[in-house]
Structure 1
């Protein structure tokens, strides 16, 4: 059985655009309010990113309007405090090997500054089960050379990769991917799941995890909700047809429901040792408290990070949020 994820405080960023390169990751790693960080999801050979297609906007979730410019360059973004996000990103254009070098750099810098290196979650995936297994093995092989605790998040839920529907929505696809995972890995390994909306999807996932307890130690729930559309007037705010994955306040109730349902089903199946990282719409202390109350042992943040920068973690960890 893989080791369990350990984060103190139990707060980190989710895999997202604001974890793409070392400049983002360095600020996240230095924050006293993150117990660890997550890299943007990478492939062994990188993703063919295209700025003209793979981008995002912030928008008002109350009416689906008032979108920002496409891919606002400012960080933090000039967006309303309660803005949601819509993205048409695929995966990171940066290769997995480079993220592993980023991890080594961050760990070495922390030690040089007299800080204890905190966990780094390397988010990976592949276009096939075999590619994904190779990515996991690459992280495991690199782990002894990196002076920080590593974990692996396997993203089986990205809704924006053309011709490649999220495997975590399909029982056969999920089984094929899990079959490629190594048993009893030396670091925590988790699955990033899409938003589920009916009972059979939850049951399918829990059954798959139960059959692979020697491979999986946590679930990250949830990724963005795909096939969403934001209009600027009568035209799509995103390029081409305008469809993308929604995150932020609009998905928060669905994410809470996913976390609560998974916690209940995992416990009932004797899988209480499988931890949950709750992600979706958390931007303040109250949202953090709700996600923890729903059953998340750890809480991840993405859209609010893009709106407010790393200072959002300080806001979230106000005294009333600590459970």
Structure 2
């Protein structure tokens, strides 16, 4: 019998979205990919998620925009981006030429605006594998509105899925009382998967000057500090709902990847770690293959949700 190939071992399916492996790079941490060319082989990745795009170009929040914390990064970028017109003109062909799945992350001020963007991107189904809806950015005005109220979440997902045939991923915020309720609303609205989680809202203060450090005052905390929160939410959603999950938050090594997978994530996104180790994502693909073989599995999906909870 021939040894299983990487594709056999690592391919995953999230409803209508099919990926060669579960290792993705998170929006906002990978630019438009060109910047990362010297550091990794894009064809080894399961997918690339470029920085969020909006209808109009955005200059983002005033500086300072980032500050390191004791266990991560606090950012207040404010969705600085080129806008959808320039994205389609300048970036799409390059991104689509890479030998990996392209997942486009979008954000809008209104449900109608999000649906219009999705409909426009729907025309590029031969280049785009899926859309990720950013309804959870904590450092722009109104950035989390659609991701904190179940009725708005469901309404947005329904309108987007009616206007677009691409697979849809809802990226959800942890800054709510119950992420399970929001994930249920996203599933009811037609989401193919949910990304758990976006950053945790925080701030930084210079107490001597009695001033906030970030130009936008509040920002999103990412990195190792939020991994326990992200894992908790993945566990809760995977136990309550039957919807594919993409785990995000503080992943920096293969053990982190496996924790998310056994907790219930079918795929993961590498975020903050890209800033200090831009080749990490492709390294993790090779390490994941080795783990799957060591676990004597024929596919990585056999390990998804394999966490054993204590009896009560």
Q: TM-score of the superposition, structure 1-length normalised? A: 0.76
Give the distance between the partners of 1:299 and 1:190, measured in 2 at CA: 13
User: Does the 8 Å contact 1:156/1:167 carry over to 2?
Assistant: yes
Match of 2:250 in 1: 281
How many residues end up aligned between the 2 structures?
276
Which residue is equivalent to 2:281?
313
Superposed, 1:51-70 pairs within 5 Å as 51-52=62-63, 55-61=65-71
Q: Give the 3 Å change call, closer, same or farther, for CA 5–234 of structure 1 in structure 2.
A: farther
Residues 155-164 or 249-258, more deviating:
155-164
Q: Using a 3 Å threshold, how does the CA distance of structure 1 residues 198 and 106 change in structure 2: closer, same or farther? A: closer
SS at 1:180 equivalent: helix
1:5/1:238 CA distance change after superposition, 3 Å: farther
Q: Which residue of 1 aligns with 2:154?
A: 175
Runs of 4+ in structure 1 displaced over 6 angstroms?
none
* Structure 2 CA distance for partners of 1:157 and 1:295, relative to 1, 3 Å: same
Residues 86, 246 of structure 1: 8 Å contact kept = yes
Relative distance call for 1:27 and 1:166 in structure 2 (3 A) is farther
In the alignment, which of 64, 77, 92 is matched to residue 80 of structure 2?
92
Cα RMSD after superposing both structures: 2.6
**Aligned-partner SS, 1:186:** coil
Please give the residue correspondences for 1:1-323 in structure 2 after superposition, counting only pairs within 5 Å: 4-16=16-28, 18-24=29-35, 26=37, 30-52=41-63, 55-61=65-71, 84-101=72-89, 102-108=91-97, 110=98, 117-144=99-126, 146=127, 149-183=128-162, 185-195=164-174, 198-199=177-178, 201-206=179-184, 208-213=185-190, 216-226=191-201, 228-231=202-205, 234=208, 238-240=213-215, 242-267=217-242, 274-309=243-278, 311-317=279-285, 318-319=287-288, 321-322=291-292, 323=300
Instruction: Mark the runs of 5 or more structure 2 residues left unpaired by the alignment.
Output: 1-13, 293-299, 301-312
Counterpart position of 2:5: none
CA offsets 1:251-285 (integer angstroms, 9 cap, x no match): 00010111111111113xxxxxx321100000101
- Label 1:4 to 1:27 Cα distance change in 2 as closer, same or farther (>3 A): farther
Contact 1:28 1:37 in 2 (8 A): no
Partner of 1:67: none
**Mean alpha-carbon deviation: is it higher for 290-299 or for 86-95?**
86-95
Shift of 1:212: 2.2
